[in-house]
Structure 1
Amino acid sequence: MKKFVVLYIAPQSAQEQMQESTPEAAQEGMKAWMEWAGRAGDGLVDMGKPLGAGREITATGTSDATNGVAGYALVQAEDLEAAQALFDGHPHLMMPGATIQVYESLDLPGM
Structure 2
Amino acid sequence: MPRFLAVYTMRPENVARFRQMPEAEQAAVDAAGVPAWVAWEARHAAAILDRGGMVGKTRRVTKDGVAEAVNEICGYVVVEAEDIDAAAYLFENHPHFAIFPGDAVEIMPFVTD
TM-score higher than 0.5: yes
Identical columns (%)? 30
Q: What is the Cα deviation at residue 54 of structure 1?
A: 1.7
Aligned counterparts, 1:1-111, within 5 A: 1-12=1-12, 22-94=26-98, 95=100, 98-107=103-112
Report the CA distance shift for 1:84/1:93 in structure 2 as closer, same or farther (over 3 A).
same
Gaps of 5+ in 2: none
2:60 and 2:35 map into 1 onto residues whose CA distance is: 33
Report the CA distance shift for 1:19/1:34 in structure 2 as closer, same or farther (over 3 A).
farther
Report the CA distance shift for 1:72/1:18 in structure 2 as closer, same or farther (over 3 A).
farther
Gaps of 5+ in 1: none
> Aligned-pair RMSD on alpha carbons?
2.5
Moved over 6 A (4+): none
Question: TM-score, with normalisation over the residues of structure 2?
Answer: 0.79
Give the number of equivalent residue pairs. Answer: 108
